[in-house]
Amino acid sequence: MTRIDVALAGRSYPIFIESGISAHAGMHIQGPGGDRPQVIVTDETVADLHLEKLRNGLNRAVETIILPPGEATKNWTQLETLVERLLSFGVERGDNIIAFGGGVIGDLTGFAAAILRRGCRFVQVPTTLLAQVDSSVGGKTAINSAAGKNLVGAFHQPSLVLIDPDFLATLPSRHLRAGYAEVVKYGLIGDADFFEWCDAHAAALLAGETDEQTHAIAASCRAKAAVVAADERETADMRALLNLGHTFGHALEAEGAYSDRLLHGEAVASGMALAFRYSARRGLCPAEDAGKVERHLQVHGLSTRIPDFAADPDRLIAHMRQDKKAVSGKVALILARGIGRAFVAHDVDLEDVRSFLSEEIAG
């Protein structure tokens, strides 16, 4: 079993990663025993596929709350329903609330735990690759508002993250690939050796090989844990680096109305390729590295281009301006000096980005 600690003053917590670990989840999920309530929050899809396995792995009784799958579940109505149901089970601060699902369930349950009785314990048992390598670690929780995605939330760290790569066996391959974009992101940000590892092993990982998946999850969690420990609330540049590809990506997602047209990880893949090509265009990064990034993503089934439905540079710039709170036409963007050498470029001129996007679209 791999153990990675997220080192935070007074609130450190472990991430356990092992194929099959959910079969003995109860050994790892601590908290009050006896007849204190313990609640699993999940969605219908995950419940149908895997709930029985997790229930069997917990060594005592558990209540279950099953929500509809999909991004729309991260809303005020579901939050209210969830909080009221948790209260009806008599959940108190030290009891275990177990978020069992992808990033949607993790974000919603984490936020419910953050506000319930001013903060309850919660455990993440992520079941998508994206959630296993990114959203379950780091304590960002949120729901969406009519004004935009993730606008209402809190920093609330879990007390434990339990990752069983076996759950990925049922994940649709499109979601597996989208989650993989966040894996290779860690290599592109700060670890050229890990990028090389990805180049050699991504095919096996995407084909469902557990060893490769476990290795990639551990490397990703290690990288994210280090960043979160150094900059929990994104006050320095450190945690911002995790947003490589995300400013471009969010603009693409917004144009796709955050629908299945473009999954988050798919948008991030295009966004990372754009960040590298823009860096190369500015003479910051060797064109060879930008080419390598692009080829790697393409080979593994991820698009590196601006999709047709988003082919309007003015609209993309408008999203970027909003996303990044531009000050006098300048924004901070994550760019790269090469593979494994991302940095925060302050004062990027949006007019220059606009002409870059126009060229990309004309392509």
Ligand X SMILES: NC(=O)c1ccc[n+]([C@@H]2O[C@H](COP(=O)([O-])OP(=O)(O)OC[C@H]3O[C@@H](n4cnc5c(N)ncnc54)[C@H](O)[C@@H]3O)[C@@H](O)[C@H]2O)c1
Contact residues for ligand X (CB under 6 A)?
Answer: 43, 45-46, 49, 69-71, 74, 101-105, 107, 127-128, 130-131, 134-135, 138, 140, 150, 167, 170-171, 175, 264
Catalytic residue among 28, 215, 222, 246: 246
The DSSP element (H or E) to which 311 belongs, if any, is none
SS3 content of the chain, % helix, strand, coil (to 5): 55, 20, 30
Q: How far is it, in rounded angstroms, from Cα 60 to Cα 51?
A: 14
Q: How far is it, in rounded angstroms, from Cα 301 to Cα 360?
A: 20
Which of 49/83 has CB closer to ligand X? Answer: 49
Which of 215/246 has CB closer to ligand X? Answer: 246
User: Is residue 196 annotated as a catalytic residue, yes or no?
Assistant: no
- Nearest distance from C-beta of residue 354 to ligand X, angstroms: 26
- Nearest distance from C-beta of residue 106 to ligand X, angstroms: 7
Asked whether 63 and 38 are in contact (CB, 8 A), the reply is: yes
Which of 186/353 has CB closer to ligand X? Answer: 186
- Nearest distance from C-beta of residue 323 to ligand X, angstroms: 13
Q: DSSP readout, 42-99? A: EEHHHHHHHHHHHHHHSSS--EEEEE--SGGGSSHHHHHHHHHHHHHTT--TTSEEEE
Q: Which two tokens stand for residue 289?
A: 């590295």
User: Is residue 140 annotated as a catalytic residue, yes or no?
Assistant: yes
- Nearest distance from C-beta of residue 168 to ligand X, angstroms: 6
Catalytic residue among 71, 149, 234, 315: 234
Q: How far is it, in rounded angstroms, from Cα 150 to Cα 359?
A: 31
User: Is residue 300 annotated as a catalytic residue, yes or no?
Assistant: no
Catalytic residue among 18, 243, 253, 266: 243
Catalytic residue among 28, 74, 121, 140: 140
Give the three-class secondary structure for 346. Answer: strand
- Nearest distance from C-beta of residue 179 to ligand X, angstroms: 6
User: Is residue 288 annotated as a catalytic residue, yes or no?
Assistant: no
Catalytic residue among 182, 212, 232, 255: 182
Catalytic residue among 50, 215, 239, 319: 239
Which of 74/277 has CB closer to ligand X? Answer: 74
Q: Give the Cβ contact number of residue 115 at 10 Å.
A: 15
Which of 104/345 has CB closer to ligand X? Answer: 104
Which of 166/294 has CB closer to ligand X? Answer: 166
Residues constituting the chain: 363
User: Is residue 28 annotated as a catalytic residue, yes or no?
Assistant: no
Q: Which two tokens stand for residue 162?
A: 């339990």
- Nearest distance from C-beta of residue 191 to ligand X, angstroms: 19
Catalytic residue among 156, 224, 319, 324: 224
In the block, residue with structure tokens 């144009």: 255
- Nearest distance from C-beta of residue 149 to ligand X, angstroms: 6
User: Is residue 239 annotated as a catalytic residue, yes or no?
Assistant: yes
Q: How far is it, in rounded angstroms, from Cα 120 to Cα 31?
A: 11
Strands (E), 159-274: 160-163
Q: Is the dihedral of CA 98, 102, 103, 105 positive or negative?
A: negative
User: Is residue 264 annotated as a catalytic residue, yes or no?
Assistant: yes
- Nearest distance from C-beta of residue 182 to ligand X, angstroms: 7
Largest CA distance in the chain: 65
User: Is residue 182 annotated as a catalytic residue, yes or no?
Assistant: yes
Catalytic residue among 50, 74, 156, 250: 250
User: Is residue 266 annotated as a catalytic residue, yes or no?
Assistant: no
User: Is residue 250 annotated as a catalytic residue, yes or no?
Assistant: yes
> Please, which residues have CB within 8 angstroms of residue 21's CB and are 6 or more apart in sequence?
1, 28, 162, 163, 164
Which of 171/217 has CB closer to ligand X? Answer: 171
Q: How far is it, in rounded angstroms, from Cα 125 to Cα 234?
A: 24
Which of 179/313 has CB closer to ligand X? Answer: 179
Give the three-class secondary structure for 288. Answer: helix
Which residues are known catalytic residues?
118, 140, 182, 224, 234, 239, 243, 246, 250, 264
